[in-house]
Amino acid sequence: MSFTGIRFAGFGGQGVILAGMIAGRAAALYDGKNATLMQSFGPEARGSACSALLIISSEPILYPHFDHPDILVAMSQEAYTRFAPALNPGGILVVEEDLVARDPQDHPGPAFAVPATRIAERLGRRLVLNVVMVGFATAVTGMVTAEAARRAVRDSVPPATVALNLAAFEEGWNFGIGGKP
């Protein structure tokens, strides 16, 4: 069975689980794929380790867990330090560039960085850094289609924040395809 394993990781309060849910919803509802999502987080409400394991496949998913992701989206130094060693050798690393100091020798494969926190702050709400990361990761990995992700963002956030979150997605997407934030 062929699948793409994606780990979103960071700390509680960054919207890690929502980022995984958006990508999974995009795959399952709008790209016609199968998806599973498992989440893990510490007992604290904010600041503890947090991750979401997402599997996307064109075939049925028989087991919802993997050890070595094909894509790692790391939004904190702790997440990078903890999960980067398990990334598949040819896997894609996506990091928040202001929060993660990465060593290129840790993962010689494809790696991309985005100033998601700065972009979110410029949009007026730091909390949308997760959606900036989804937009960026969508652009650089092709994990889901952009239109599917946009639709999933609309369906996944509170109605009063749809415009802000769509703007965050577009900023991340544009940065990923080489545009300016």
Residue 93 sits at φ, ψ, to 5 deg, of -105, 130
- Reduced to 3 states (helix: H, G, I; strand: E, B; else coil), residue 130 is helix
Q: Which domains does the chain have, with CATH numbers?
A: 4-176 (3.40.920.10)
pLDDT band (50, 70, 90) for residue 18: very high
Q: How far apart, in whole angstroms, are the C-alpha atoms of residue 139 and residue 146?
A: 7
Q: What is the pLDDT of residues 138-180, one digit of tens each?
A: 999 999 999 999 999 999 999 999 999 999 999 999 999 985 4
Q: What is the pLDDT of residue 181?
A: 39
Give the type of residue at 107.
H
pLDDT band (50, 70, 90) for residue 47: low
Q: What is the pLDDT of residue 149?
A: 98
Q: What is the pLDDT of residues 92-140, one digit of tens each?
A: 999 999 999 988 777 778 999 999 999 999 999 999 999 999 999 999 9
* Helical segments of the chain, H only: 16-25, 77-83, 116-123, 129-141, 146-156, 162-176
